[in-house]
Amino acid sequence: MARKNLWSKNKESAEQAGEFTASQQRYLDDVARAWEEFAAQSWLFDISGDLQEWARTWLPRELADSTLAEVEAAKHRGQLPALPAEPVHFIESLIVKAVRDGVVVLPAPGRLARSFAHRDPVGEYQIASGYGLYVDGSDVLVVRAKSAIMYEDLGCVAGRPLKGAAAVERVLEQIIGTMQSVRSFNRPRPPIGL
């Protein structure tokens, strides 16, 4: 009886190792395809039209002189029905709306969102965000900006915060600006069985 249990445990371990090896091979194949796709495309992100005029079409008049933080607070209070409820992050909802409305043009179908952050070396809190395109149809390819945007610079020109539609325009220009120089990033492989 003990031999049978030992044999079945060894067989089970061998099957798990085989599944792991097959899963690893699929992942490596996905990574190879992602690198080929990354190398075959130019990854040009574009702004099509006047972002400030676009923002004025959906931004309520009472927010015309509001800071970016005030516009974000209005979104979270539900006062900006033009912005999608998902994603919850304000800047990402701006991106989603801009892509849907055609004023931001992505080089491939996907989702442009935060993909990395820089942290303060002492306090360990986030001080900047970098954005990346999570490419549809790929489990591993994220086309990431080579640089991040400091939070204190977001929506500002020469250290001065802009307001209303001008702030919205500046934020999108900053994000698309960082996407003019990109690098590939392979998403981490999820654990087997998930």
Please tell me what DSSP assigns to residue 12. Answer: H
Mean pLDDT in residue range 75-94: 91
Sign of CA dihedral 89, 149, 189, 133: positive
Identify the band that residue 17 occupies on the pLDDT scale cut at 50, 70 and 90.
Answer: low
> In the beta sheet, which residues pair with residue 186?
141
pLDDT for the residue 194: 39
CA–CA dist 126, 68 (Å, integer): 18
CB neighbours (10 Å) of residue 155?
Answer: 26
**Residue 190 predicted with pLDDT over 50:** no
Please give the structure tokens belonging to residue 121: 């070396």
pLDDT for the residue 85: 85
Prediction pTM value: 0.79
pLDDT digits (tens, 9 = 90+) for 153-180: 999 999 899 999 999 999 999 999 999 9
Please give the structure tokens belonging to residue 34: 């992602």
